[in-house]
Amino acid sequence: MIILDGKKLADKIRNELKAEVKMFDHVGLAVILVGDDDASRLYVSMKKKACEEAGIESFEIKLPSTVTEHELIAEVEKLNINNKVDGILVQLPLPKHINTAKIISVIDPKKDVDGFHHVNIGSLVAGMEDNCFVSCTPLGVIKLLEEYNIDPKGKNSVVVGASNIVGKPMASLLLNRNSTVDICHIYTQDLKSHTINADIIIVAVGKANLITADMIKNDAIVIDVGINKLPNGKIVGDVDFDEVSTKASYITPVPGGVGPMTIAMLLSNTVKSAKMRLSK
Ligand code: NAP
């Protein structure tokens, strides 16, 4: 069994990006943070630190949880026309009174480094990955598979979880690479009947121990996107790592697997945006 080391690959990518950023006059990423949710604040500070280390200027726009949809749209529109900003990221989740899809649709698709805008999602589904931004977490998973020479072509893949952010783009990326893809979600009956035949299993649900050893075949490749905090404070994924790792051929740890790749891909997408700006 081989551990897919996302931390090591993310460090390598971040070092390469740091060298690349030096060749630009300027690269900038703006992050909008609404409210004071602890997890969101933590994610934003991690992204800010990663930007600083790569030489990318980060702009943080903090807004109160009482901000109106109209005011938030106005902030996004200001960033859309700010030449110093290559990437715009609205930290999710947003307060309930704000329509998330509407806010994302206002971001200039050319600065949508999270890859959530419907124009970017459409391009991904159409197989035009080079000309769009792909959601950072699934893109990170693909880079991790590539690093270990795992080609999804011809393999049976199962994606568990069908969110717009992870599961759906993940399935499109695998399909674009000629994998046969099953997508499972909360209404899937008998999850095991899908996972047991999978060569590649990618789990992005948010439920500790959802995938157990009896649900996978020998030598399966297991990618755990989930992040769950147990009552004792321990951070685990969606896969029962101790058991499943005895049967899998490759597996990602949590932490240290997909998580670090997500941030590396955010920086990578921001540099891609700067390149696209310059090539115009
Ligand atoms: P999400 O929006 O809550 O989506 C979860 C998906 O799982 C939904 O499609 C949901 O279906 C489905 N689901 C729920 N219970 C299920 C079950 N028992 N069996 C099969 N499918 C089930 O979450 P997300 O944003 O995609 O994130 C998923 C997990 O990945 C979370 O733990 C999150 O923290 C983690 N995550 C990690 C990273 C990283 O960098 N490592 C990045 C993003 C997310 P319904 O919608 O029908 O309920």
Domains of the chain and any CATH numbers: 25-108 (3.40.50.10860), 136-258 (3.40.50.720)
Torsion of CA 93, 94, 98, 100, to 10 degrees: -50
Whether residue 190 lies in the annotated active site: no
Of 189, 184, 219, residue with least CA distance to 203: 184
Whether residue 151 lies in the annotated active site: no
Probe residue for ligand 1, chosen from 185, 190, 239 as the CB with the greatest number of ligand atoms within 8 Å:
185
Burial of 275 (0-12, 13-18, 19+ CB in 10 A): middle
- pTM (two decimals): 0.97
Is the torsion defined by CA of 16, 252, 46, 27 positive or negative?
A: positive
Tens digits of residue pLDDT in 29-45: 999 999 999 999 999 99
Q: Is-cis flag, bond preceding 93, omega within 30?
A: yes
Tens digits of residue pLDDT in 155-198: 999 999 999 999 999 999 999 999 999 999 999 999 999 999 99
CA dist 133 and 114 (Å) reads 7
Probe residue for ligand 1, chosen from 158, 164, 225 as the CB with the greatest number of ligand atoms within 8 Å:
225
Atom of ligand 1 nearest to the CA of 261: 40
Atom of ligand 1 nearest to the CA of 166: 26
The answer to whether the beta carbons of residues 137 and 166 sit under 8 Å apart is yes
Percent of the chain with pLDDT over 70: 100
Of 248, 188, 163, residue with least CA distance to 212: 248
Q: What is the mean pLDDT of the chain?
A: 97
Tokens of residue 164, six digits: 């717009």
What pLDDT was estimated at residue 165? 95
Whether residue 189 lies in the annotated active site: no
What pLDDT was estimated at residue 279? 86
Residues 6+ apart with CB under 8 A from 242: none
Q: Work out the pLDDT band at 16, boundaries 50, 70, 90.
A: very high
What pLDDT was estimated at residue 69? 98
Probe residue for ligand 1, chosen from 166, 187, 203 as the CB with the greatest number of ligand atoms within 8 Å:
166
Ligand 1, atom 35: nearest CA belongs to which residue?
226
Burial letters for 40-76: b for 16+ Cβ neighbours within 10 Å, e otherwise? beebbeebbebbeebbbebbebebeeebeeeebbebb
- 218 CA → ligand 1 middle, Å: 25
Tens digits of residue pLDDT in 121-144: 999 999 999 999 999 999 999 999
Residue 203 CB less than 6 A away from ligand 1: no
- 166 CA → ligand 1 middle, Å: 8
Coil, strand, or helix at residue 153? Answer: coil
* Averaged pLDDT for residues 143-161: 98
Ligand 1, atom 39: nearest CA belongs to which residue?
259
